[in-house]
Chain A
Amino acid sequence: MNQNSDKMMDIKNIVLRFGGVVAIQNISFDIFKGEIRAIIGPNGAGKSSMLNVINGFYHPQEGEVWFRGQKRKSMKPYQIAHQGIARTFQNIALFKGMTALDNIMTGRFTHMKKSIFSQMIWEGGASKEEYENREVVEKVIDFLEIQHIRKTPVGALPYGLQKRVELGRALAAEPELLLLDEPMAGMNVEEKEDMSRYILDVNNEFGTTVALIEHDMGVVMDISDRVVVMDYGKKIGDGTPDEVRNNQSVIDAYLGVSEH
């Protein structure tokens, strides 16, 4: 693999501080195009901060983020969305009163070019645009097998399905890079397996690059191509699941030091 040309994102020497707290200490890693890259670590290791740096929400005090061969400048949220990065959140951030369908439609926001007036009077191509976007959304709904909750207000859905709708909204944006913040938190075994299947399928079918944060070691090891391990804001391991599994400092820090 020619690593330079295949690099989707290169993160170099990131330092992120909140006042006196150093959340991320000098971390570097990269994300290849088309891979599933996981970031794992114990609670408070700085995983979510890292994800926020990746998607441009946090601006690190030191270091550089290179995305598709360009050095990232500080951006506004809509600029971030326009560059082809979509994400889900650890604590579901959906519009609870809106239906699953409408929520997923909001993921198409960046693809809607018509003016508000055109959309109001349903003329000047607004309806055509709506149909096209709806088609994409319906494909996402079909993909995630949530046809039965299309018209259900999201607030009334069980947790596992809300997570799926949120993934749907991210997918509707047709991102190149999909960021998932603990996609399997709080799920039972079956829901976790379903979600793993969807993540693999997204990667497989659409070639979407996936970066995910996860707590559940088993799942991460099964589905990701490469894993970054963080502890107390530092990177303590990086490599394939097997390499990480056999890395002594990872075993000590994350899986615990055995007593004998």
Chain B
Amino acid sequence: MTENLNTLPAILERNSIKFGEKPAFREKEFGIWQSWNWREVHEHVNNMSLGLINLGIKEGEHICIIGRNRPHLYWSIIAAQNVGAIPTPLYQDSVAQEMIFPISHCSAKMAIVENQEQVDKLLEIKKDITSLKNIIYLDPRGLRNYKNNNLYSLNDVFTLKNIENVSKLQTELKNRQSKQNLDTKSILLYTSGTTGRSKGVVLSNRNVIESGKAGIVFDNINSDFSLICYLPMAWVGDFAFSMGLGLQSGMCICCPESSETLHDDMREIGPSYFFGPPRFFESLLTSVNLKIDDASSVKRKLFDYFMSIAKENGEKILENKSVGLVNRIKYFFGELFIYGPLKNRMGLTKTKVGYTAGEAIGPEIFQFFRSLGINLKQLYGQTEACVFVTCQPDRQVHPETVGVPVSGVELKISKTGEVLYRSPGSFVEYFKDPANTKKTKDKEGWVSTGDAGFIDQETGHLKIIDRAKDVGKLKQGSLFAPKYVENKLKFYPNILEAVLFGSGKEYCVAMINIDLTAVGNWAEKNNISYASYQELAGHPEVYKMVAEHIREVNSSLSKDQNLSNCQIRRFLVLHKELDPDDGEITRTRKVRRNLVSDKYSDLIKALYDGSKEIYTETEVTYEDGRKGKISASVKIQELKETFEKAEVA
């Protein structure tokens, strides 16, 4: 049996035998957790597969999957693989126009989508995506009166409605399954594309299965684990964790009721394996702090006292280091009164393994969670690697590094300082793009990450500095590392996003996005009234606050020998939030630097020419794809005096 576990459908079949009645998928619906055991899931997937063959899907064709995390859509992925087709999940919040490229690029024949919203988008762009024949929807609501011959309900497909030749389909399915092996394609994932067009990354069964195995071995994951999936299905992380890791370990895969209920649902499930981008933990910490600010003074004092105990001892206890008896007793009471209830509120009580990745996480945020006894770690990964490159092992967590290679991964640093890796998880190719494949993956299988980094001598862990191509030089020749400075800024809860400019210039300038939740709350407390994001962003008090944060960052930069010239001399607070609908950031919320600098070239010019205020008009895209314009006078503030002082120091 084991020798044939080459594909996710095969693994699902194994699970249905091995784990049978154990819950495989859970989804909260109608206020109750609905659950499906492995046997049922296997049966559903099998039926779906027959339904797909019946609809004429051939081997090697692509099926787009669009929707939020729902069990039926995960099953669609497995069913697609089962019939030899290649599932291609897309970002469900993409506007219709954005979907044209991936769908036509992979000539998808079919799309399995969540609801009317997605069906409408596809029908809108239908004339541009001629390959697309059938659309299958999960949620029939609002679709009753759609007169379209090629529109099917997923429920009809997997209950095998109107199908007579089941046995013939079954033979065909068997036949197709037998042709699959470790080297056949498993999935096509489109990268979010921080620079230019997104690329289609082809992952083979080997990539998915081997990298999943490595992840399982690294953290001793077993079938008693559970995980909650809430990140976009089109993102490699969700696929690797929910499918690669989830199916292979046999853990219970849970889907929240809606994106807004995630925190409540998480609290009910208590996932033992959890992944969140730094932003998730930041906002969690912000909401904890806001709640504590509003609490009674007794509670506040208790919280402050025990958090100081945790700060001192929590990480040591987590890492099994020696801690005095008195401190252990104090920590015990802290767990009883503060940490335990807090973890429960956040839904992290049962978390055995927690990961964050994608961006640098603020050391204080990272340590806050670890000091509560949550085993939060960092990993470093890529779509091209099917996520896993390096992970921090238990008890060897250094906030500034990203850990050691997982089993099977080899690392090296190129002469130019770029991180390269070779692993069984590294991708097959960029779909229909041999030139870029060649550029990224050499003949020996080494993949360039595009990140500058080095192996820390002391710990032997990998340390990432910045995107290699973003690192530049200021006019006077000193190093310019934008991401490093931006991260420092983003560690302040009030600052959601920051974009630094300065390559080839005399000094650095920054555009800041404020965090509406944090700053809004602050405004409420300080009796600052505002009607809109734009008004709040332009408020003099907000500028004062942001300036204060920048001063602190500048002063810490001034102590850094290499980066002291990266101090920010002038800045502005942007009148709108950077938005993936406008293409300014990717769907995974990474800034598209080139696009931002083009779009706001007038603002950048003003940042350098000494003006105090600039009038600008910006095009915005609404959720339904319509465009509009907003205009604003954006103030520019100078931080000259501190800058010079810092420079002297």
Contact residues of A with B, CB < 8 Å? 134-135, 138-139, 141-143, 145, 147-148, 150-151, 190, 197, 200-201, 204-205
Contacts and interface: CB of A to CB of B under 8 A. Distances in A.
Contacts of B144: 204-205
A142 B29 contact: yes
Contacts of A139: 30
Interface in B141-165: 141-142, 144-145
B257 A204 contact: no
B142 A148 contact: no
B297 interface: no
A148 B145 contact: no
Interface string B108-151: 00000000000000000000000000000000011011000000
B290 to A, nearest CB: 15
A142 B144 CA distance: 17
Please name the 6 residue pairs, one residue from A and one from B, whose CB atoms are nearest each other, closest first: A148-B260, A138-B30, A138-B31, A148-B261, A147-B257, A147-B258
Contacts of A142: 29-30
Nearest to B145: A204
Contact of B258 (A134, A148, A197): A148
A33 B156 CA distance: 30
B142 A204 contact: yes
Contact of A205 (B142, B260, B264): B142
Contact of B30 (A135, A151, A190, A200): A135
A143 B141 contact: yes
A201 B261 contact: no
Nearest to B622: A190
A34 to B, nearest CB: 12
A141 B31 contact: yes
Secondary structure at the B interface, as helix, strand, loop or mixed, is loop
Contact of A201 (B32, B141, B257, B258): B141
Nearest to A143: B141
Interface of B: 29-32, 141-142, 144-145, 257-258, 260-261, 264, 623
Contacts of A145: 258
Given A138-B31, A141-B30, A205-B144, 11 more contacts: A135-B30, A138-B32, A139-B30, A141-B31, A147-B261, A148-B261, A151-B264, A200-B142, A201-B141, A201-B142, A205-B141
A214 to B, nearest CB: 21
A170 to B, nearest CB: 18
Q: Which of B30, B32, B141, B145 has the most CB of A within 10 A?
A: B30
A134 B260 CA distance: 21
A100 to B, nearest CB: 12
A7 to B, nearest CB: 23
Nearest to A189: B622
A205 B141 CA distance: 7
9 contacts: A139-B30, A142-B30, A147-B260, A148-B264, A190-B623, A201-B141, A201-B142, A204-B142, A204-B144
Contacts of A201: 141-142
A138 B29 CA distance: 9
Contacts of A190: 623
B572 to A, nearest CB: 27
Given A204-B144, A204-B145, A205-B144, A150 B31 contact: yes
A26 B129 CA distance: 56
Contacts of B30: 135, 138-139, 141-142
Nearest to B117: A197
B467 to A, nearest CB: 35
Contacts of B257: 147
Nearest to A148: B260
A196 B141 CA distance: 15
A134 B144 CA distance: 26
Contacts of A150: 31
Contacts of A141: 30-31
Contacts of A197: 142
B11 to A, nearest CB: 32
A139 B145 CA distance: 21
Nearest to B263: A148
A138 to B, nearest CB: 4
A4 B96 CA distance: 44
Contacts of B31: 134, 138, 141, 147, 150
B120 to A, nearest CB: 11
Nearest to A193: B624
A249 B32 CA distance: 54
A195 B556 CA distance: 50
A150 B268 CA distance: 15
A38 B623 CA distance: 28
Contacts of B264: 148, 151
